[in-house]
Amino acid sequence: MSPLPFSRLLDALRARGLPLGVREYVAFAELWQRLDGATVAELRGASAALLSTSDDEVQLVVATFDELYGERVEPPLPPPPPPPPDVLTRLRRALSSATTRWTLGAVLVAIAGLGVWLATFVDPSLPPLPAATLDLPEPYAPPSDARRALDADPSIPAAPALPPPPQPINWWIAVPALAVSALATLLVFQRPRAAAAERKRREKAWRQARGRLPGPTTFSLQPSAPPTWFDRRDLEDAATLLGRAFTTGLSSTRLDVRRTVRLTIERGGLPRFVFEASSATGALLLLEDVAPEMDAWRAKTAAFVAALARQGIRLDRWVFEGTPALVGRDLTGERLSLDALARRSVSNGVLIISSGSSLAHESQEAKLGWHDALSTWTRRSWLNPVVSPVAWRAELASMPVNVWPFTGDGVLEAAADLTIDPDGRRGRRPVPATASAVLADDVERLKRLVAVAGQPSLELVEVLRRRFIPDAPEDTVLWVLREAAHGSTREVRLPEADARRLVAAERRENPERERTVRALVLDLLASQPQPAGSVAALRWELAVATQRLALAQLGGDDTGPARAQLQRLAQSLIWDEVGGSTHVLGEAGGAVSLGSTTSGGHLSAPTGLPAGATAPASTLAWLSPRPLEFAIAAVVAALVTGGLQVSGALAGAAIPHVTDAYRLDFAPATLDPEMAGVISVSRTASAADAPATVQLYRDGEAFGSPLVVPVEGVVERPIAAADALHHFQARAVLPGGNLALSNSTWLGQSLGSSIVSV
């Protein structure tokens, strides 16, 4: 690869005010030769590292480099407009609407009802059959005296009763019963869902109104005086050690005789001592971890850095997230690898502040990369904010650097690592675990203070720990953070159920301490009001009202003013937070009723809509039923319809039997004494459409095989003498379930052995 025309870049930088000389031109030419084959991004980073000494110069070099050698990227063409939806897509969108589905369902129910009505409109029974007109022989009639004898004979049983006529289902009642029961079941599921949907729409409207409020939305309750993280003497001793190599602009212990004599003469003989400037001009490279896991110690780190700056220690401060493989001036700026920073840094010492919580998730290749880069500094040290070494990550033991706890003693040891000859401290391990172990009782006591204080900031939690439970270790705050309801480190918020238990236990066992803590919090709230008209002001007012209510309960005072203030806030834009604050006091001082609640016990959104809302909330929301709801509705409708059918409520008009559809005649036998005679079955004149297949019944029971009756003519069946003394009748089942019948004939013996028929 041919070298880039670097002179063009350097000339442009000189024209823009960057001080460059012959030495920079030569060094830049050597750099291009070593970076043969590098990418444009690597060349840009190397140029910025070589030519710039501040953030402004880095931005100038990068901007000029991109202007001269950056790749020109054509803006992407706008995407083509989507094609218009086809007929199937429009139909699918229309069917996806709940209103469309309900309308189609109603139309289908109406069509089904109309079909049932048309099916039941035609009477399935046959028209009445006229009298028979076939020219058949007259039936055999016994002599008149025999007829009279048979009629008067009490031994002849009555003819068997016919089956009751069928009663079909009245679909004019069944279909509405099915539809009403199914719709009623769907409404049972629909109404709670509709109420929940309406509540969600109302809550959304109130939350949108809350989002339109100006100003801050939250506030962090800070102590009046920040906690003292370190002993002043430890910081001064550490600064004394660090000042040997990392200070600038300070006076040394060497007296400047010439200036001392001149100033003494000028002041009329009053002695004025002037010391020579310190020759130490190095800067301490400070690498600070700003990952979310370090938020708990953000204030402590800031206090430490500020203390070193006040002592005159020159710091070159860089930040990283999790592991120092990539560092930058801030999280939004350009990142450099630790190896690139080591090549450009003029510092002869590096101090890292991190808990090392992300080291376990780092690849082995990345570890080796920044481990080697860290070894380029002969003086290096690491401060771990976790006080107890027992709780440190195991990966810290393999670091090429001594790790010390972020305490006064640990700061002194780190300062010694950075200033004393490394050979004299080689092989030293971290200080022994001097901090006491965190006990479950320590965590419980600190959680009680947090629950009583409401939602304190981490700084306020530390102040409460030092004032009320100074025997609890500093790491107790970490255990409380692990049990917090959310991951925010600006404030510590415990789960509501846990907070209720803690406040009740504190009031039962130590009410005086609770009163002291609440009075302290109330004073801090009074000294930190929030901008009027903002959500933060409403939340600040809620915190004040909650503390006042608790103090009134503790002192037996009137809780009316505090309750009235809470009831007013329950109708405001933070109604959902008011219920949680009052529920915490439920077990300790009695429940506080502030209005209607939901099924989960939380306060309902205020009735109506907030000012500025555009769409009113609907009183009834029809939602698309779920498949399970359809299945349950079908089962309920079937059960209701079955119950109505069993009770007879769905029975329609009975379909009468068709009498005289067939004619049954009997001819007695005169020669064979074992035969009673022959029964013949024929159709009547008006029964041409009657079924051709009939069944002969004897005393209501089927007798023999079915008979096929021709349209014209008769069908006969011989009857043995042993089958006499019974009633005979021919029957056929019609499509409507009713019967087509013949006349009923009794075959019996009378007047000797003659067989007679009646």
Q: Quick: pLDDT tens for 239-280.
A: 888 887 776 555 556 777 888 888 888 877 778 777 765 555
Q: Is the separation of the CB atoms in 173 and 649 below 8 Å?
A: yes
Q: Count of CB atoms within 10 A of residue 704's CB? A: 12
- Burial of residue 656, with CB atoms counted within 10 A of its CB: 0-12 exposed, 13-18 middle, 19 or more buried: middle
- Region of 146 (left: φ > 0; alpha: ψ -120 to 50; beta: rest) is alpha
| φ, ψ dihedrals at 238, nearest 5° | -65, -40
pLDDT band, very low/low/confident/very high, at 719 (cuts 50, 70, 90):
confident
pLDDT band at 109 (very low <50, low <70, confident <90, very high): low
Bridge partners, residue 288, by sequence:
319, 353
Name the band, by pLDDT with cuts 50, 70 and 90, for residue 76. low
DSSP 236-268: HHHHHHHTTTSB-S-EEEEE-HHHHHHHHHHTT
More confident residue, 648 or 549: 549
Report DSSP letters for 661-672, one per residue.
EEEEEEEE-SS-
Average pLDDT, the chain: 77
pLDDT of residue 426: 53
The answer to whether residue 148 scores a pLDDT higher than 70 is no
Tell me the backbone φ, ψ of residue 242, rounded to 5 degrees.
-70, -25
The pLDDT tens digits for 8-17 are 778 788 777 7
- pLDDT surpasses 50 at 436: yes
Residue 512 has pLDDT above 50, yes or no: yes
CB–CB of 414/383 below 8 Å? yes
* Most confidently predicted of 40-49, 489-498, 539-548: 539-548
Could you tell me which of 750, 592, 746, 752 has the C-alpha nearest to residue 139? 746
pTM of the prediction?
Answer: 0.57
* Nearest-angstrom CA–CA distance, 551 and 589: 10
Q: Quickly tell me which residue has 């430890």 as its tokens.
A: 234
For every residue of 376-415, DSSP letters joined together read T-SEEEEEES-S-GGGS-GGGGGSSS-EEESSHHHHHHHH
CA distance 288 to 324: 9
What does 9-21 look like in DSSP terms, one character per residue? Answer: HHHHHHHTT----
Q: What is the C-alpha to C-alpha distance for residues 661 and 732, in angstroms, rounded to an integer? A: 9
Residue 94 in tokens: 């229309």
Contacts of 316 (CB under 8 A, 6+ apart): 283, 284, 285, 286, 345, 347
Distance (Å, whole) CA 563 – CA 568: 9
**What confidence category does residue 287 fall into, taking pLDDT thresholds of 50, 70 and 90?**
very high
**Across the chain, how many H-helices and E-strands are there?**
25, 19
pLDDT tens figures, 574-628: 888 887 777 777 766 655 666 665 555 567 777 777 776 665 545 444 567 778 8
Q: How far is CA 390 from CA 135, 414, 566, in A?
A: 121, 19, 46
